[in-house]
Structure 1
Amino acid sequence: MQGGFKTSCRLGLSKILKDSSTRFKQFRQICHGVHVGDLIAAPVTPFRTDGEINFDVFDSCLSFLEKWHFNGLFVNGTLSEGMNQSQKERKQSAEKWIEVARGRMPVIVHVGTGNLKDSRYLAEHAQEIGATAFAALPPTYHKPASVEILVDYMTQLATAAPKLPFYFYEYNVTTGVYLNIPEFLRLADKCIPNLAGVKHTSPELPALVNCARACNGKFNILTGTLEQYLPSLSLGIEGVITAPYLGKIFYNIRQAFRSGDMEKAQKYQTQALLIDNITKKYGGCISLAKQIFAIASSIDVGNARLPLNNKSLPPDRLENLKEELRDLL
């Protein structure tokens, strides 16, 4: 009886702490100007057979994301092939996502390019069309040579849209030096008034935790690796940006975690890892992500563009993929 009472107390205290952590995260996001969501989809950009953007299915895609429990969008990033679109197309894509999402969920627009001028131009546009927030990768060819130079670059970029919360999009191939994100945040905190947080894509959990603790936990950290979702939740890091076909699974992980059912949460986290293993087995490319999204949603979103692999799986491999995913999605 006594052991049961102690267990109940521990579970109750755990729930209080988790609820308090959630409220604090939401309050912190509001303090930065907006709640961007905590289960955020990185949608694919639908293409027609001729390679042009298929704006006709954006609304259907959003309806699917809503059904699978997403409450935010991160558009024109990696899975959206933002870097594979012209400036005009990126503007059109951002406009269309914001149009269909208005009143339904917030939209973060990625504006990173290979140069400051184009990124500032896209940031200004994101602010003009009513984006909820904007984010940017550093340049990937001429890379910042130091954290100080990176801070200077991002400061000049962030001032292009001062009314919007700004998220630094960390990706481990984008810097010429080892990037100490907590150090970046400490320096950027003094220079970028609208800095709201980081999209953190490193699978290293200690790096994620150190990032979340920087500046006394001031910034909103959005994890971008599916392997770390449950561990991140256990450490009070609730925001995640993930593939558009993982929303239902991540929602189940979060609900099980919040209710104190760790066995069920672990089961769903393992399910996400199994899907990741399957995607790697079949090539792990963006075209494959689009095919998996099509399997889950029944929406044809086409293939990726060159220089990415722009070929669909052959029919027999596609059927094998469907069979392996049948009980997971």
Structure 2
Amino acid sequence: MSLALVTMSHSPLLEFNDPPAEVKAEVDAAFEQARSFVRDYDPTLVVAFAPDHYNGFFYDLMPPFCIGYEALGVGDYGTAEGPLDVPTELSERLAQHVIDHDVDVAISRRMELDHGAVQPLEILFGGIATVPTIPVFVNGVAKPFTSMRRVRLLGEAVGSFLATLDERVLVIGSGGLSHDPPVPQWATADEQARKLLLDGRHPTAAARDARQQRVIDAGKAFAAGTSPIRDLNPEWDRALMETLASGDLGPVDAMVPAEMAEAAGNSAHEVRTWVAAFGALGAAGPYEVGTRYYRPIREYIAGFGVMTAKTL
């Protein structure tokens, strides 16, 4: 048994808004380093912690955590549609283990995944069904938010299960870092937006295109300095990455949701996937971080980071 990890920012704007050429080259190089790390590790199983952006999970029923027994990509922003290769029996055992370790988790026999989960699989593996993958949804967008301590405990419960398997497990954490894209908030949303937040499943192609174009335009405005959305916070991002690399996740327990949003934007809650992933890695034993990349990229509306790590 061994565990390895890749945590990475995602952005729906990767294929739509171009940063300066040298920045794009940096990001491509960071992705290639991560791909090389994964190729060398050659995982037999992937556990992917990922958020959602009101494409698969909605306010008609919004769990803090959910383990997928079956899953498919919805195809937003040009990402892959269709089923993942989910080892259902293993997912069922994982869910029972997590519950037995006092972390309540929902399950889904038809989890729908957007770019937040799909993009890293495409970047690292070239597809969404190349390696058996268990998706674990971690709410990073919809209030109320569970404590960061509970997120850490979720990761540790998952990791303690993975440590019992005769597999080479790659744990992925997808999201963040600091960013505040134009995702509607229930408290301030108008009636039309609330309908989307409540149940916006399976929109028409025209409705999806219009929604996506608003985000693309917001990214262009943010890069041009004409958007009112909250700025990126590189200091906050780097401090979190340093904590995760240290092997001592205790400090994340003190992170407060309202303060996270104030410091790093409403979608900074996606770093919960990084915390869960590092919690899983740490539960399997001491680990060492390999590569680390970070840059605030306004064109992607993201403090953009990539990290790799492996148990010793």
Calculate the TM-score normalised by the size of structure 2. Answer: 0.30
Higher RCO (Cα < 8 Å, 6 or more apart):
2
Structure number with greater Rg is: 1
TM-score, scaled relative to structure 1: 0.29
Higher strand proportion (structure 1 or 2): 2
Instruction: Point out the structure with the larger helix share.
Output: 1
